[in-house]
Amino acid sequence: MQTSFWRLILLAVIAVFLMALVPITIKLIQVNPWVVGFVRLTIGVVGLYLIAKSMKQSVWSKRENWLAICLIGFTFAIHWLTYFYSIQFSTASIAAIGISTYGAHLLLLGWWFHGQKPSLFEFLCVLVAFTGVFFIVPEFSLKNEMTLGLLLGVFSGMLYAALPILHQKYQYINNQRRAFGQFFIAMWVFALALPWLPKSELDLSQEAIIGLVILGVFSTLIAHSLWVKISTELNHVVTSVIYYLYVPIAMLLSFFFLNEELSYNKLIGAALVIMANIAGVYYRYRLLPTT
């Protein structure tokens, strides 16, 4: 069932706010990224299963759809893992800025998969976006953890941009089953690493447990379930623009709760990334045929 445009916009804003809690919470609780992913996804899988059962619906896709489900789930898992390490190596706001290159990646991936060749203006937008990344990088060395964290955030943004394309490609699979399958496959990717972690990494404090539950219920079960629906039904241009609320929300939350410095370089870089991406997606939106 299709949802009205403005209701989708409202749901998108709510989802972005809940997702912006992720970098701040992960930085606060200081839990191993593999544990964070496994706990969040387990809560998401159990929650979606119970919701579906209460509605007497099935969360399991047909066997012929499982290759598509596995592809979505694995892409999602690596996106999460690289983003969590980005947060761990750098700061919550730098990781958020890195992943905000999502829009530039979406334009390029749209060209690759859908043959929607970017114009000269859009290429310039991509160039400006990555110039913004340049402003944020402290030094071009992988030995610098801030740089490594930012680059992981950019890579995570590329994978995140691939997800709407995959969800639209396989939209003939029910939204609920796609969301469940995405979480289920990703959960097992994270579970594979748990037996190899030191015991100390699995001993969680009460604060860490509360943080993981908040992430699992609000930022995973609710936010990502909404985002699957939104990215499937809403035009990817509009989705990209709304997603950029993530950056100022994450930066403000990290300033107030983590005392992270809002340096001029960081603000200039963030502004360039956000403006370039919004300009690019709005330009593409104007080219879309009206109905």
Q: Where are the domains of the chain?
A: 5-287
Of 48, 161, 166, the closest CA to residue 108 belongs to 161
Q: What's the pLDDT score for residue 114? A: 62
Q: How far apart are the first and last CA of the chain?
A: 20
Among 24-33, 52-61, 227-236, whose mean pLDDT is lowest? 227-236
pLDDT over 50 (residue 272): yes
Could you report the per-residue pLDDT of 93-129, keeping only the tens digit for each? 888 888 878 777 777 777 776 666 667 877 787 777 7
Q: What's the pLDDT score for residue 1? A: 45
- Contact at 8 Å (CB) between 81 and 186? no
The pTM (predicted TM-score) of the whole model is 0.81
Mean pLDDT confidence for 143-169: 87
| Mean pLDDT (the chain, rounded) | 83
Distance (Å, rounded) from C-alpha 207 to C-alpha 182?
Answer: 28
At 140, is the pLDDT very low, low, confident or very high (cuts 50, 70, 90)? low
pLDDT over 70 (residue 289): no
